[in-house]
Chain A
Amino acid sequence: MTEMFRDKIDISLTVNGEPVEARVPAGQHLVDFLRGELGLTGAHASCEHGVCGACTLKVDGKAVRGCLMLAAQADGADVWTVEGLSDLGAIKDLQDVFVERNALQCGFCTPGMLVAINELLEAGGMPSRDQIREHLSGNYCRCTGYEAIVDAVESVARVRAHKGAA
């Protein structure tokens, strides 16, 4: 049995477009690996059971919970954190409007919010306020109270939809 199951697993993946190789403990979350081993501290580990959304990452094109995925499961995956999306400029409009609209205070939930919203906006179209709320229902913010966040997402969606139509 000991030969089949490993305490430490070798993984090879890309993180924010760069190749990464590592040996990770069997029970390590992906978000802890990114934070502790790679110094990518944008995504936050908070509730650690999938409720709060602060750890949201983009894995193989989809938003996922960084605390409900093991680093071992990310072997071969294409992982993007808020740092990478930020460096690409992929969410610059969203970040600017978050500041403009005061859609954050302490900023703890903001990286997870941005990654979650990025997925919604990448799907295209003009989401309704209800759809925006529904999509962000898994991301908790304990200080701004969501209204400004929904405003920010709505205004970016409107600008992007116009650009798409133009």
Chain B
Amino acid sequence: MSQRTPTAAPPRAPWSYTRFQQRFAPYLFVSPFFLLFAVFGLFPLLFSLFLAFHLWSPLDGVGNWKFVGFENFQLALGPTDMFWKSLKNTVWIGLLSGIPQHLVALPLAFIIHHSLRRFQGAFSTILFLPYITNAVAIAIVFATLYSERLGILNYLGGLVGLDPVRWLGDPNMVPYSVAAVVFWRYVGWNTVLYLSGLQAISEDVYEAATVDGANGWQKFWYITLPLLRPMMFYAFTLTIVGSMQLFEEPFMLLNDGGGSGGAGLTSAMHIFNTAFRDLDMGYASAMSWLLFLAIFALSMLNNYLFSRDGGRR
């Protein structure tokens, strides 16, 4: 053991530019993101969590909130509350639009990739158009298509002797009408996703399969589908999250009430109405968090189904 004498720390420069640069400049450079996130991301998040436990109308002014504990959550989870109905609508419209989206997008991408490769660029552009179309234009076009007395759909139906359908008036019809618009809007987006997934699959695998005598269907089922799994997981997750937060399409077609009997009232619309029409911010915040939990649970379920199936690999 050697004797150690405590040595004095090297003298510190009180302030040096180099030292500042090394220690603090990186923080300064990344700070814009964190500042923006704190103001527009974190603060609203925490504030809505805070409000979920309070009764507050914005017209009462900041500070005049009343603590109510879990009352807002109990209210939303009550069996007769509109929240359940809106959640049911949301899931139903989500299934009606989401499942066909993938059932069409996947084979479509496969066909474009393998048979129509020359036109792939053109197809991608066309398929992507609905996704970037202005919402107001969509509302006007579909309102014209769906119009009961003046609409093109009922006119065409009438030519073949069908009775006019109340596309946006009959509560039983509303979810289908809304789902059709959602399907139209996002099927191209999913196709483009799958196309990019297909491009990542090596040609060698298909060539090997051709040599082994596999037909088109077998290639799709035994090669494309399994190798597309990561992209499918990604696309499914986006569809689930998007469907659960569905707002724009039903709002455009049916206005804020969600149409006849609220049959097209989605959870996001109900939350919007509760917050900005009824000015019940606490209840709206509580429902937002419940919706978040629902989305989280469904995403986890999706994750589980994909990973369990993938265990065979």
Real complex partners, A and B?
A: no
Residues of A within 8 A of B (CB): none
